[in-house]
Amino acid sequence: MRKLRAATTVAGAAVLLASLGFAAGPGAQAGDTNSQDVIEYRVHDAYPKGEALESAGLEVVKRVGDDVIVVGDANTGSRLEKLGLRAEVSRHLRQAPWSAPTLKPGAAPQDETYYGGYHTVNAHYANMDAAASAHPDLATVVNYGQSWRKQQGQGGYDLKAVCVTKKAEGDCAQKPDSKKPRFLLQSQIHAREIATGEMSYKYINYLVNGYGKDPEVTKLLDTTEIWVVPIVNPDGVNIVQSGGNSPKLHRKNADFTDADLRQCGDSAGSQPGVDLNRNFGYHWESNTSKCDQTTSTSNGAADSEPETKALEQLWANLFGDHRADGPDDRPDANARGTALMLHSYAGIIILPWEYTHSTHTPSDAQFRAMGADMSKFSGYQYGQAGELLYDAAGGSDDLAYGKLGIASFTIELGDSGGSCDGFTPQYSCVDGTFWPYMQKTFNYLASKAPSPYK
């Protein structure tokens, strides 16, 4: 990681980046180490234009006063220039030189890792299975769908969740009338946000290993079902981990119906697939630009992706429907349960609505009270997406709350300006920085499951 000259303009940056040997597009081989690098651009006076950046398919990761930080690759600068924006390269997050994934011979399947300790999709799945076989009284693994590639017969994965609770008759059924209230934790809907999946991996193990020893865990599992989906987007994570020690920065799923890697490349700023967190069908907006970071559909409509549809069905099965769909409808008196989707790397807590911040939800006071409580653990700011960064339509929380009445939050892990910033922090950040406050945050949200709106 090193800083470029702060005053470098976008046009100047193109020259500078060329001189640094940036390769465009796919086909980067060992030795050609820079095409995967992430470049942050500071875009001046662009906060009020956040939605325009979002519509242009760019990812805004931070707000700095009236400026915003946009993340992308060497070509992102010229795209900003075409939008008439004044931008400069603010930081260059250099990827480690490429090397093949190395798996230790004889390692247990749940210990298969890449990039210094990050778990592969197979390792996440093996970890859930290992928890269930070692603790049959506590953990139940369920399949809730299939990834896009699996549906197409191109490899791919089942979509998996684990239910963790001190099991009693009828627990962990995929039906909304459960005896215990539920907390649902989900991560890696954006594949390249690799620290998020590790939070889920650690939480599953913390729960099953803590029962009967840690009074807080014991109480939670006696009274609550905790569901974890560690990898919402396994096809995408498969692409990320294929980079081995230099993870590919694939954000979207692997639905390459409209475009493939030859057309889009596979850089931070240009890649094929659909952004699952723009695909949910509540106040959805269309973005059919195939190589954008925020392509919102493969067929011109919302809910086009199998990963999205399956997750929505899981939510309906676990939580039922406790809210009419109008903007001012309150969740009904029986609404219970909490949900959290993890992202990185802005370091913020986001409440619905995300598609707009000109109105608040009817549950705004409760959401902000919970946001304030969670903020005490991490120090992250909380608010609606557009208050902190920009409005974003088609996200998970708007559908989960808007259609079903689930008290649903997004947290972006982050370490603004610190050594654990970026999509691919060193693995030591997982234990050293993120886990201590996320563990408290997850327990807090689980404790709110019985009555989030009271």
Q: Which is nearer to Zn ion, 76 or 178 (CB)?
A: 76
DSSP string, 9-23: BHHHHHHHHHHTTPP
Smallest distance, Zn ion to C-beta of residue 412, A: 7
Compare residues 180 and 343 and give the one whose CB is closer to Zn ion: 343
Residues 242-261 that bind Zn ion (CB under 5 A): none
How many residues sit close enough to Zn ion to count as binding (CB under 5 A)?
A: 2
Compose the 340-379 pattern: x for residues touching Zn ion by CB under 5 A, - for all others: ---x------------------------------------
CB of 399 to Zn ion, least distance (A): 16
Residues 326-345 as x/- pattern, contact with Zn ion by CB under 5 A: -----------------x--
User: Across the strands, what pairs with 454?
Assistant: none
How far apart CA 101 and CA 321 sit, in angstroms, is 44
The dihedral of CA 439, 440, 446, 452: what is its sign?
negative
3 state SS for 380-395: CEEEEHHHHCCCCCCC
Report the nearest approach of Zn ion to the CB of residue 343 (Å). 3
Amino acid at 213: K
Output the DSSP codes for 343-361: EEEEEEEEES--S-SSS--
Task: Report the C-alpha gap between 180 and 20 in whole angstroms.
Answer: 57
| Residue 35 CB, nearest approach to Zn ion (Å) | 21
CB 172, min distance to Zn ion, A: 28
Q: Radius of gyration of the chain from Cα atoms?
A: 21
Q: What angle separates helix 215-223 from helix 194-210, to the nearest 10 degrees? A: 90
Clarify whether 88 is annotated catalytic: no
Q: Terminal CA-to-CA distance of the chain, rounded, Å?
A: 46
Sheet holding 87-93, edge to edge: 59-64, 67-72, 38-43, 87-93
Q: Which is nearer to Zn ion, 401 or 423 (CB)?
A: 423
Q: Does 403 bind Zn ion (CB under 5 A)?
A: no
Which residues is 63 bridged to in the sheet?
68
Q: Which is nearer to Zn ion, 91 or 343 (CB)?
A: 343
Residues 6+ apart with CB under 8 A from 179: 168, 170, 171
Task: Supply the minimum distance, in Å, between the C-beta of residue 234 and Zn ion.
Answer: 16
We find the least distance from the C-beta atom of residue 231 to Zn ion, in angstroms, to be: 14
Which long-range contacts link 195-198 to residues 24+ away (Cβ below 8 Å)? 195/344, 195/345, 195/413, 195/420, 195/425, 195/429, 195/430, 195/434, 196/342, 196/343, 196/344, 196/413, 197/118, 197/119, 197/124, 197/230, 197/231, 197/237, 198/118, 198/119, 198/427, 198/430, 198/434, 198/435
CB atoms within 10 A of CB 288: 13
197 or 272: CB nearest Zn ion: 197
CB-nearer residue toward Zn ion: 209 or 416:
416
Given 88, 193, 312, 412, the catalytic residue: 412
Of 190 and 252, which has the nearer Cβ to Zn ion? 190
Least CB distance from residue 232 to Zn ion, whole Å? 10
Give the footprint of Zn ion on residues 183-242 (CB under 5 A): 190
Residue carrying the six token digits 């219970």: 336
Whole-angstrom distance, CA of residue 133 vs CA of residue 140: 9
Residues 6+ apart with CB under 8 A from 170: 178, 179
SS3 100: coil
Query: Which of residues 159 and 449 has its CB atom nearest to Zn ion in the complex?
Result: 159
Q: Which residues bind Zn ion (CB under 5 A)?
A: 190, 343
* Residues identified as active-site: 412
